[in-house]
Structure 1
Amino acid sequence: MNAPRVVFTRAGFWRGIRGALALMPAMLPFGLVVGVLADARGLSTLESALMSALVFAGTAQLVALELWADPAPILGATLAALVVNLRMAPMGAALAPWLDRLRGWKLWGTLATLVDNSFAMSVADQRAGGRDAALLLGIGFGLWVFWVASTMVGHAFAGVIRLPAGHPVLFASLATMLALMVPLFRGRVDILPWAVAGLTALAAHKAGLGQPWPVLAGALLGAAVGAWRARVV
């Protein structure tokens, strides 16, 4: 049986934009937190905007900002962001029925703006029989524009109030990261790998290893235990 023909239409793109609008209110606090942290780490408005526009990955940006120092640990931040974003590989595989049929700017623009929310909405549409791959680009592009704007608003707000280093509100970055992890937790099956990841990272930190090695050690060992558990269950 031939696979259903995939299309890429203007109507699909605008349907994606409308879908992104529903996600923006929940995205706003996260963007503001990233903007505030960028200001606290000494990034200018332009640097903050460029980070959001080029990286467009909230969790990776939080990780990079948490590691930020003078001089900036470019290699460490890059490795940590890579570990955080490894989940994009299986996302691309799941969306292959659409992505494999795109070329040029349609493919690269879609991949550049792919995030968790656009993935979830597009996979649901795909499984329901949807054939318009422009939906994925519309959602991603809409969220990208809003993300850059919200982080810039957060940066501007932080510049007005000038929060001192160590202010309690900066704990929001850790709280946001923890909140993002909650929907990913699948119950008892995840307890062991998550516990191993956390304890490994803590042990590496207590051993005096600087960032990003605790993050990398925890992520790699936790992933290894998760893969082993998936094979034996």
Structure 2
Amino acid sequence: MSPGRVVFTRQGVWRGVRVALPLMPAMIPFGLVIGVMSEAKGLSFLETVLMSAMVFAGTSQLVALQIWSDPAPIFAATLACLVINLRLAPMGAALAPWLDRLRGWRLWGTLATLVDNTFAISIADQRAGGKDAGLLLGLGLTFWFFWVVVSALGHAFSGLVALPPGHPIFFASLATLIALMVPLWRGRLEILPWGVAAVAALAVSQGLGLGQPWPVLAGAILGGAAGAWRDLR
């Protein structure tokens, strides 16, 4: 591989699978909750599997299920998911050195399975000099497959999964996300955008009392704006 040349190899895809596997247990609580909530809201097993397979966005699915009623609030659920998933746009821009060199199923498969965890791992690898974009697809497909399976199990065994809301196991997904953020920290330059994003999200959530998706959107937009301002300076 020549210096600076981005490639997409089978070895890179399998490396993504191997990197993702140790993180799978942390998805179990979140996936089970999605399955249990889907059953409680009246979704069939097939509908739950299709939702996880096609949407593949845990936060969006959780928010949509929280506001789900009969008749289904299609517009409200769609708007909520759109707002939450807007954060994927700057993620894709950050991964442009890889994505701009992909075409066809490699590009669309990678974009379809892009989530927070795959972004965090891939951007850290990219910053470390990684040139194999297959890593991103390997990560995404592994997370996607496991997410569909776990949410399906949550629906199938919803009667057995009855953990109280404050159970410590529900912290596993958040703990994993925090751990994935560690390689992204590049020193004092990150204090401003990260701090602005955190304050904005807390202000909207706690100060204004607004639920999802508004804290996520406020943190993403204002944190990104602070990062852009920092880079311009």
TM-score (norm 1): 0.78
Rounded to whole Å, the distance in 1 between the matches of 2:8 and 2:108 is: 14
1:52, CA displacement in angstroms? 0.3
Aligned length: 214
Unpaired runs of at least 5, structure 1: 205-213
Structure 1 residues 104, 223: CA separation in 2 closer, same or farther (over 3 Å shift)? closer
Structure 1 residues 41, 190: CA separation in 2 closer, same or farther (over 3 Å shift)? same
Unpaired runs of at least 5, structure 2: 182-190
- 2:203 aligned partner: 196
- 1:65 aligned partner: 65
1:188, CA displacement in angstroms? 5.6
Rounded to whole Å, the distance in 2 between the matches of 1:221 and 1:57 is: 19
Q: Do residues 105 (structure 1) and 105 (structure 2) align?
A: yes
Tell me how large the CA RMSD over aligned residues is: 3.2
Contact 2:63–2:212 (CA under 8 A) maintained in structure 1: no
Matches within 5 A, 1:1-233: 4-158=4-158, 160-161=159-160, 169=164, 179=174, 183=178, 189-190=196-197, 192-199=199-206, 201-202=208-209, 215=212
Q: Which amino acid aligns with 1:198?
A: S
Structure 1 residues 129, 179: CA separation in 2 closer, same or farther (over 3 Å shift)? closer
Rounded to whole Å, the distance in 1 between the matches of 2:225 and 2:10 is: 45
Structure 1 residues 92, 76: CA separation in 2 closer, same or farther (over 3 Å shift)? same
Q: Which amino acid aligns with 1:196?
A: A
Contact 1:200–1:221 (CA under 8 A) maintained in structure 2: no
1:153-206 alpha-carbon deviations (Å, 9 max, x no partner)? 111111x4496xxxx73667xx6699479837x78645642343124652x6xx
Range that drifts further, 186-195 or 132-141: 186-195
